[in-house]
Amino acid sequence: MNEQHAPVTVSVIVPALNEADNLPHVFATLPVWIDEVILVDGDSADDTVAVARRLRPDLRVVTQTRRGKGNALIEGAAAAKGDIIVMMDADGSTDGREIHSFVIALTGGADFAKGSRYAPGGGSDDLSPLRSLGNRALTILTNLLYGTRYTDLCYGYNAFWARHLDALALDCDGFEIETLMNIRAARAGLTVREVPSHERCRIHGESNLHALRDGWRVLKTILRERFRASAVPRTQVALAK
């Protein structure tokens, strides 16, 4: 890494399904000091893997064994070798230049750095009124049930120390993976710091997210985790400076 950071290694996991047209934009934003990029391919029908390898010869490719974003992130994390694991999207909505802020939060004492579009300095060009309303409602419910102070529950830009993978114990296949990470970080008593992030619109193609279907899966995850938790320690949440 460069001199702005502590001497740690960083792995970036990018789950992708038919994202060949978006990868040139995504990879162009990645800092030069990233140690490892892992593309988790969900059996793409286009040239996703070929384009990724051409753009980044040092790329590691993991072929997904099941379906869904959650499964892709789990398999990517299992393959990662870095001290810090960063999870970002392949559609151009997350900006790799923000990885610096996540790493600063982690090397500054956080165990888990979660992106927030609602934190001061964050924002979104993509959130519809329905998705925004649903996200806020689910965030409030999570805060009430788990004693957290999150501002943005359903956002996929997150980073954490690889040593906490066992504590997170990720085990779901869908978009609810982000909610599960946030809840289990709180249950494990990890120090969570919110990092302001600006979400951009998908550049090419259509999203695999379905607001009602995936919102229902998130709600079930929130309730299921609450009732299987005998005790929920309070997590520490703060905005990155």
In tens, the pLDDT along 135-190 reads 999 999 999 999 999 999 999 899 999 999 999 999 998 889 999 999 999 999 99
The total of other beta-carbon atoms located within 10 Å of residue 189's CB is: 14
Strands 123-124 and 60-63 come out as unpaired
pLDDT, the chain, mean:
89
pLDDT-derived band of residue 209, with 50, 70 and 90 as boundaries?
Answer: low
Prediction pTM value? 0.89
Residue 174 to residue 122: CA distance in whole angstroms: 25
- From start to end of 56-181, where are the E strands? 60-63, 84-87, 112-116, 123-124, 158-161
pLDDT-wise least confident of 23-37, 158-172, 207-221: 207-221
With a pLDDT cut of 90, the percent of the chain lying above it is: 73
Residue 1, pLDDT score: 53
Indicate the burial class of 5 (C-beta count within 10 angstroms; 0-12, 13-18, 19 or more). middle
Nearest alpha carbon to residue 181 among 111, 92, 125, 133: 111
List, in order, residues 6 or more apart from 213 with CB less than 8 Å away.
none
